[in-house]
Each structure stands twice: as structure tokens, then as C-alpha cells.
Amino acid sequence: MTMDVSNPTHTPTPPARRPWALAAVSAVAAVALVWSAAQHGVGAQPVGSAAPAPAAAAPRVTGLPDFTVLVEEVGPSVVNIRTVERVRRDESMGDDVEEQMREFFRRFGIPLPPGAVPRGPQGPDRVPEQRQRGVGSGFIYSADGFILTNAHVVDGAEEVIVTLPDKREFKARVVGFDRRTDVAVVKIDATGLKPVRIGDVERLKVGEWVMAIGSPFGLDNTVTAGIVSAKQRDTGDFLPFIQTDVAINPGNSGGPLINMRGEVVGINSQIYSRSGGFMGISFAIPIDEAVRVAEQLKATGKVTRGRIGVAIEPVDKELAESLGLPKAIGALVRGVEDGSPAAKAGIEPGDIILRFDGKPIEKSADLPRIVGNTKPGTRAAVEVWRRGATKTLTLTVGTFEEETAAAPAEPKVAKAGPLGLTVRELTADERRERKVAGGVFVAEVGGPAAAAGVRAGDVIVGVGNQSVAGVREFERAVADWPKGRPVTLLIRRGDWAQWVLVRP
């Protein structure tokens, strides 16, 4: 314990003779200690000295960060994005609050509490109107009005409304979006815009403090903070995500992830959740990947990627040892497409690609990213491991299927009037996301199907004991169903499947 010797009232002043007496006693005690130590063969410290105390380690972290300056600096560059689509609804459905609640539960797969949001009657009084479809975030990329956000925020929207922090609202034009990286660019005609500063993802470190600004649940300019949990997190073909523990919720999508220098290092895109809300894990698109895509979208409205035509899988330690590879790196080629750039270059199934265009392939997920970012037509050297030795081949990079900002061709739509359902074909992305081989997407629901609990966004994969591959099979199965009997539908909702009885 350390005593405050600067306090003059801490210890009274002793009498004049006392210091001499204490000194004498101390001297005698010291002599006795030295004699005792000598008798026992033990070395003694010099009189008046103390054993050195171990040096205390300097703290590695002190205090907590103050984000106020960052908020003042970056806040004016973050925008709220509302998307609108044309739908049909009942005139008697109630106020907008009920409709927004129903939309929230539908979009994020959360079961609707019984009686929480009443349904209005269904029937001929349905009239067309526009309503809010979703809420997201974005940030000003350049002073001339280009804004970055997520593709899933604007995909399918008929109208995009951007609200600036100063409450000005603008109707935005979708310049382009790329579903594979989930990056979109929109444009507004506005003045006095403050663009963000772009950071260097390479300098970002795990454990570093970061901050997010966005509109979770429509709450504009909400600030949350946390640390970088991991980098290069593999969750997609072309995206090495930044993982953080920053609180991200529906509506944060498209907002910036900001480092302590006030620079944007990512676009908040996804969360890991079993409830639809934040559970401590969120993912952001690295800003260097996003900028690469955004520049292509600004220039052409689409993204062009390279391809070489191989199917790959990871290389594990056991396989590497069996093939004589020093360590488990690279991408194992398990198939080569006929006539592809890889086939023409002589790449064979069983090869392990170690380097592409001079860039090392540490893990299999690196290859599609590197190839995808290579301009089609580029001649690239490919180093492979084959039969215990490296071999270098040369190929010309091909073109990956193009994606444009234009809406895809309208899928076939069918109406099952007696059931109150409007269904359409599933897109390839929807089948992949929902992990189904077939089925039909429920676009609108009302009448008996709504009363039975079917929701817009569900996927019908079966009618009775018959599987449904698409709209044609669904129409046939419903038409052949015995009249007067409840129609049994097998519904997929998220990761769950359930049977629903619809009484026409």
C-alpha cells in the first residue's frame, strides 16, 4: 500500500531524540541480521537496501475510444434509402403502421404473432397503391451525387427515395447493381454533398475498433460500434467479408463501416441470425472490392468478370501429404469444362492450382475471386502442382456471364383464384438461397390461403404427395385436386417446412 506522504497531517512530528534512538536500534538489528546470516551461510543484502521489485508491465490498452469526432465527420455523408413498389391491398386494411409491421415480419421471416396485426377482409375492394417496401442505408461516394449501397436494398424496387441527414429528399436513379457482391450504385441530383473518405482494407487489423452508421428499423443516423472480429471470412464466391461484432440490424444494410481514422473500410451487408435480429456477428463488404465493382457500374451499368472454366474444391492436409505437396494450399481441380480457357491451356482434373497471374492461391476460395477480378482477354500464367512437381501453363481469361442492372425477364406467373394465391417461378438465385431444387414463389396471398397461414415470400414445393417443380406443375396439381376437399400444400419458409391445409 502506498501512503500519501505529501499530506502534512498524515503523521505527527516525533520528538527530537526519537530519530537517534530509532537509528541505534536499526543499527543493532542490522548487525544481528548480518551475524545470523553469516552463521547460517546465507548472503545478506547491504544494510539499508531493499530487494528490487519486479517491473510492472505497461498496459497494452488504455481507455475507450471516443467516436464523437467520427460521427460529426462522417454523419453528413450517410443517407437513408427507402424503396417503393406497386402492390395491391385492401382499402380496409387499417393504417400504415399495421402494414409496415406486416412487411417487417414478412421480409425477415419472423412468425407473425397471432392477432398482433389484424388482417382486413379480402375481396373486390382491393385497389392498386404504392407503399414502402423496405428501408436501407447508403453513403455518398462522390460529390456529384453517386451513392453506394447494397444490391438487395434496391433490387426490384420501382422507386428509390434518398433522404439526406439535412432532411432533403431526392428520387434516385439506380445506375446498376451486382448481386454476386451485393453492391449497388444510385445517383441523385443534389448539391452540397460531402463524400466519404475511402480507407485501406489492408491496414485494417483484427481487434481494431470500427463504427457503423445507418438506419436500423428505419431509425435514421443510428451509430453503433465494436471491433473487427475477423478478416477474409469466406461466405460467398467473390466476397472475403470483414466480420465484426458491431450491432447491425435490418435497415443498416448499405451503410458504411468506418475505422478510427474516419475512413470507410466496408459496406455493412449481412448478419448471422436465427431470429432476424442482431446476434453478435455481422459482415461487411471490403471497400476495395466494393469500389472495384462500383467503378464498373458507373462506367457501364454492369460488372464483367473473368472465368477459366474449372470446378474446384479445397486441398486438405491429408491430400497434400499424399501428393507430396509441402503444405495444404491451392485449389484442387476436380473438373474442366470442355472448350474452356482452362481446357485449351492444358489444365487437367487432379491438378492443384497454386498461383494465378502471379498471385498465390492460399485457399480454394481465392481462385474465383482472383479470376473474377481479372479482365477478360488477359493472358495469365497458371502454376499447377502435377505428379509431384510444379508446371506453368498459359491461358486467355474468358468472360463470366454478364449481370446488368436491368430487371430479369419476368418469370411465368399463375393465379390460383379459389385459393387466393398468385405464384411465380423461382429464380436461380432464389433456389440457391432457399436450398430448394424447385417450387413456386408466393408473390401475393389472400382469401383462403391467407386464412390458412400462407405468406407472401413462402415457397410451395408440393401439392399433396406431388412435388412441384414450377408453375406448370403447380397449376396442373391444383386443377386435378378433388373438388370440395382442402388442398394440402407443402410450404418452405426459411429453413423450415410445414404442411398447410387450404380450404377453397
C-alpha cell at 58: 505497461
> Which amino acid, 152?
H
What residues does 234 pair with on adjacent strands?
A: 240
152 is catalytic: yes
306 is in an annotated binding site: no
Q: What angle do CA 230, 234, 235 make, to 5 degrees?
A: 115
List 137, 155, 178, 182, catalytic entry: 182
What residues does 214 pair with on adjacent strands?
A: 222
Buried b (16+ CB within 10 A) or exposed e, 390-400: eeebebebbeb
338 is in an annotated binding site: no
40 is in an annotated binding site: no
List 253, 269, 282, 364, catalytic entry: 253
Q: Tell me the C-alpha distance between 84 and 130, whole Å.
A: 7
C-alpha cell at 159: 422507386
253 is in an annotated binding site: yes
Q: Tell me the C-alpha distance between 108 and 103, whole Å.
A: 9
Q: 284: which residues sit within 8 A by CB, 6+ positions away?
A: 241, 242, 244, 257, 265, 266, 267, 268, 269
Torsion of CA 450, 455, 460, 463, to 10 degrees: -20
Residue closest to 352 by CA, chosen among 375, 382, 374:
382
CA 111 to chain CA centroid, nearest Å: 23
182 is catalytic: yes
What residues does 50 pair with on adjacent strands?
A: none
152 is in an annotated binding site: yes
253 is catalytic: yes
What residues does 466 pair with on adjacent strands?
A: 463
Q: Tell me the C-alpha distance between 463 and 481, whole Å.
A: 9
List 142, 152, 245, 357, catalytic entry: 152
Residues tagged in the binding site annotation for substrate: 152, 182, 251-253
Residue numbering of the annotated binding site? 152, 182, 251-253
**Catalytic positions, written as ranges:** 152, 182, 253
